[in-house]
Amino acid sequence: MEQESFAKAIGNLKEIAKAYENILAVSDIKEELKELNLTEEQLKAVYEYLLENNIQIPDYNGEKENKEDIVENEEDSKFFQMYMDEIKELKEIPKEQLEEIFWKAVEGDGNAREQLVSGYLNQIVDFAKIYRNQGVLLEDLVQEGNIGLLNGIFAAAEQPEIENIENYLAEQICESMENAIYETETESKAEDYLVKQMAEVDKCINEFEQENHRKPFAEELADIMRKDIEEVKDIMKYLK
């Protein structure tokens, strides 16, 4: 799921909803998001995000998830549970005030920046719910979303021509969360590859010892396995 396409699709749904008195059908939402190949759980999180933004979905029968209950389904810390309790009372920034507060924050106004960050905390949690169960804990996704929001504020100073601030911030938040997921997936694949290579080298060592009654040199293993000598040496370090 590409963060720019996802954030743009969410923005489009909000614009469509405005034209229909803030009402959307499930079929319209699925049509807008069909290219993103979302899971049913992710779609449910999108519905809930739209409901949080006062968009009605009459034919959606799912039960809205309480923010207080989210932590029960995650391996979250007590700190994060306290964080969830604190932000549930925070109010989002009125849309008519968002542009003014945003540009003040970009210009370095500390109060405006604090107001923007606190006003977006609940939305960041809603976005995190869409990305959860992909290898990164919910609390870490929320933290990445906060970082993405701050990065977006700082980066905006270099691109003053931002047509839709709401979509821009959504893109920054999603990008940060997706980067965290990608890094976790990359690390996991690297670990899986290393484990596989260790097993292959270990097997080759055992077979060599049985046939030759001695341990093989790294050069011999590299020749037998047709691998780079440095790679074999690195793998052998883990086997000691």
**Domain finish residue from 64, 93, 110:** 64
The domain containing residue 224 runs over which residues? 188-239
pLDDT in tens, 77-129: 666 677 777 777 788 888 889 999 999 999 999 999 999 999 998 889 888 88
In a domain, 164, yes or no: no
Residue type, 85: D
In a domain, 107, yes or no: no
In a domain, 95, yes or no: no
In a domain, 199, yes or no: yes
pLDDT reported for residue 152: 92
Give this prediction's pTM: 0.60
In a domain, 202, yes or no: yes
pLDDT in tens, 118-133: 999 888 988 888 888 7
In a domain, 131, yes or no: no
pLDDT reported for residue 53: 76
In a domain, 6, yes or no: yes
Domain total in the chain: 2
Give the pLDDT mean for 38-56. Answer: 83
**Domain finish residue from 64, 97, 118:** 64
pLDDT reported for residue 79: 65
**Domain finish residue from 64, 80, 115:** 64
**4 vs 140: CA distance, rounded Å:** 21
In a domain, 136, yes or no: no
